Structure 1
Amino acid sequence: MSHFKSTEGKRYLISVAYSPRKIGYEWYMDALTLLSQEMANWASRFNKEIWLQHCDGDRRFGHMITNLSECMNPVLKVTRYLPISAIMRCTYERKGILTMRFAHYNRRTSVFVVDELEPFKGWSQELFRVCLAAGMCDCGLF
């Protein structure tokens, strides 16, 4: 972005990267080529699976960033001043985890209890403890 000075070209380049479908990518790439052949050639050198949303194989689920905290910021923005139990409940609901419910939080030990509402393949227990300080969960995943 610092090498090329065209503001319009930068907008096209960002639109090329964020296009969720190939047709949108092609349209913006054609517009970029008409504006700056050099910029289009530069962009074409890179591995498409890394920088184009429509080529990522849905590995990023529509997100163009890899920093987890940046992905979570929009989820947690509305919960900024709520108690931790409300934040956990809201996070589960926003992320579409409707088969589990946040049941309890111990502030002193930073341990959460998650209640499984529907059986999950291979797990027989219904309550899972998640200990943030130890980085562990009863389910074996953290």
Structure 2
Amino acid sequence: MWSAATEHQERKFFQRMEQIKILSPATYMWLDKFSLDKWIMYKDDGRRWGAMTTNVSESYNGLLKKVRGLPVTAMVRMTFKALVDRFVE
């Protein structure tokens, strides 16, 4: 999956997907459910600037800065909402 997701060219991406389809049809069908712009480098329109990973702790810390000082239940709810929003968009 990683090799398919990180391809910068459409042709190479589809070659990788054919390999996945042969090796694991179930994985291919699972991946096919997702919109390509959510997980494929060549379809990201430059939003990722060529980077597929982020520093998770940095991202999470930035999120917590916004809710710091709130009661714990409010902090958990707002953090959950922010994470859901991030993955849904």
User: Following the alignment from structure 2 to structure 1, what is the Cα–Cα distance between the partners of residues 54 and 38?
Assistant: 11
Partner SS for 2:46: coil
Listed one character per residue, the Cα deviations across residues 101-122 of structure 1 (whole Å, up to 9, x for unaligned) are xxxxxxxxxxxxxxxxxxxxxx
Residue equivalent to 2:32: 44
TM-score norm. by structure 1 comes to 0.38
Gapped regions of structure 2 (runs ≥ 5): 60-89
Partner SS for 1:57: coil
- Who wins on radius of gyration, i.e. which is larger? 1
TM-score norm. by structure 2 comes to 0.59
Partner SS for 1:54: helix
Residue equivalent to 2:51: 63
Of 41, 49, 73, which residue of structure 2 is paired with 1:53? 41
* Higher strand residue share: 1
Residue equivalent to 1:86: none
Cα distance change, pair 67–50 in 1 and its aligned pair in 2 (3 A): farther
User: Following the alignment from structure 1 to structure 2, what is the Cα–Cα distance between the partners of residues 34 and 20?
Assistant: 22
User: Following the alignment from structure 1 to structure 2, what is the Cα–Cα distance between the partners of residues 27 and 47?
Assistant: 18
Cα RMSD of the aligned pairs, angstroms, is 1.9
Alignment of 1:1-142 (within 5 A): 13-67=1-55, 69=58
* Higher helix residue share: 2
Listed one character per residue, the Cα deviations across residues 21-70 of structure 1 (whole Å, up to 9, x for unaligned) are 10111010000001111110001111211100000011111111244859
Counting aligned pairs with the same residue, the percent is 26
Aligned residue pair count: 58
User: Following the alignment from structure 1 to structure 2, what is the Cα–Cα distance between the partners of residues 67 and 46?
Assistant: 23
